[in-house]
Chains A and B, each alone.
Chain A
């Protein structure tokens, strides 16, 4: 019956499934698939397939622009952004966040994506070892070098951090102890990269105009929930030092830099974003640092500190 239905489906629409039809480009799928990434998808797929695709599309866009084909360049650029848009879906509930210790015998050669279902567990463990570190490196580079991708990447990392702490899997609901271990492993695997991402986000936040940087502060707040306390206390000390060392408002900013007052606002925002995770000594330092700003003339500084 099923075979007959398949035959009918092939025959009913002339040309469907023919070799020519199969090789037709399908750029529309990138937009269609956004938001349709199922729960339990693998970050490894992003690292192995989606990111190379984005690089290919970027090169195609640049190549078309070099040839003077503006429309084609814009088309490839749109596809490039749409391919990056898939990232957020993969970060919503991936099943390969934690770094798994893989036996050496499993690390010989690359496991093909056509591995039978019975070997999926092996494939997952192989990819788990590689996926997030590689992805994190690429995302860090893109955050630094691709301003137009920053909101997309920050949103995706925010979802990844949220999902890494979530008690949501069916297996987790069935077995509380196993779920607790899974959450701890996920948090540790993601949190290990806070030392890489937080400095990048701090740097971007202090160099981005105030009206378009709220997503960066949201990303900082997300990372604070999974980062190590010593790291956060060190970063907080650095932020406070820069806040107190910020030049006087009368000093003219250098080209491409924010005004001194804007730097203070940014540092105060960052200090308060770190506040929920600080230890007692750092919290005391925060209090002593913030109190003088309550009596300054700047209404924005008073508003931030209150």
Chain B
């Protein structure tokens, strides 16, 4: 039930060009979710995947 909501929040945050005004709200929602279900569970749904981080974009 919560997984699609978390995925949507993640998508809203990452596509910040289109949703820049939503970021503070999305941040609060993600923090609330993490507090409710725990960081471990949240990261199971939204893995960090930092090993796949590419080089930083210019600008």
Q: Roughly how many angstroms separate A75 CA and B54 CA in the complex, as a whole number?
A: 10
CB proximity to A under 8 Å, residues B2-49: 3-5, 7-8, 10-11, 13-14, 27, 30-32, 34-36, 38-40, 42-43, 46-49
CB pair B55 A36 closer than 8 Å: no
B48 in complex: contacting residue of A9, A25, A60, A76, CB < 8 Å: A25
Contact of B35 among A15, A29, A38 (CB under 8 A): A38
Shortest CB distance B11–A (Å) = 5
Number of B interface residues, CB 8 Å?
Answer: 33
Asked whether A41 lies within 8 Å of B38 as measured between CB atoms, the reply is: yes
Give, as a whole number of angstroms, the nearest-CB distance from A38 to chain B.
5
CB neighbours of A101 from chain B (8 A): none
Q: Which residues in chain A, 25-40, are within 8 Å of chain B measured between CB atoms?
A: 25-30, 32-33, 35-38
Out of A16, A25, A35, A56, name the residue touching B7 (CB < 8 Å).
A16
Are B11 and A27 touching (Cβ within 8 A)? no
Point out the residues of chain B lying under 8 angstroms from A17, CB to CB: 3-4, 7
Interface centre among B11, B14, B32, by most chain A C-beta atoms within 10 angstroms, is B11
In the bound complex, CA of A54 to CA of B58 (Å): 25
Q: Is A244 interfacial (CB 8 A cutoff)?
A: no
Assess the B4–A6 pair: CB atoms within 8 A. Answer: yes
A23 at the interface (CB under 8 A from B): yes
Inter-subunit contact A69/B55 (CB<8 Å): yes
Q: Are A41 and B39 in contact (CB under 8 A)?
A: yes
| CB–CB B49/A26 < 8 A | yes
With a cutoff of 8 Å between Cβ atoms, the chain A residues found around residue B4 in the complex are: 6, 9-10, 16-17
Q: Which residues of A contact B1 (CB under 8 A)?
A: 2, 5-6
Complex CA–CA separation, A79 to B50 (angstroms): 9
Residues of chain A in range 46-80 having any CB-CB distance to chain B below 8 Å:
49, 53, 56-57, 60, 69, 71-72, 75-76, 79
Interface residue? A45 (CB, 8 A): yes
Q: Is the CB of B7 within 8 A of A21?
A: yes
For A154, the chain B residues whose CB sits under 8 A away are none
**In angstroms, how far is the closest chain B Cβ from the Cβ of A137?**
22
Which residues of B are interface residues toward A (Cβ below 8 A)?
A: 1, 3-5, 7-8, 10-11, 13-14, 27, 30-32, 34-36, 38-40, 42-43, 46-56
Query: Could you pull out 9 A-B pairs where Cβ atoms are within 8 angstroms?
Result: A9-B4, A17-B3, A22-B47, A27-B50, A27-B53, A29-B30, A29-B46, A36-B39, A71-B55
5 cross-chain pairs, A with B, having the tightest CB-CB distances, nearest first? A9-B4, A36-B31, A36-B34, A25-B49, A17-B7
Q: Interface of A with B (CB < 8 Å)?
A: 2, 5-6, 9-10, 12-13, 15-17, 21-30, 32-33, 35-38, 41, 45, 49, 53, 56-57, 60, 69, 71-72, 75-76, 79, 86, 113
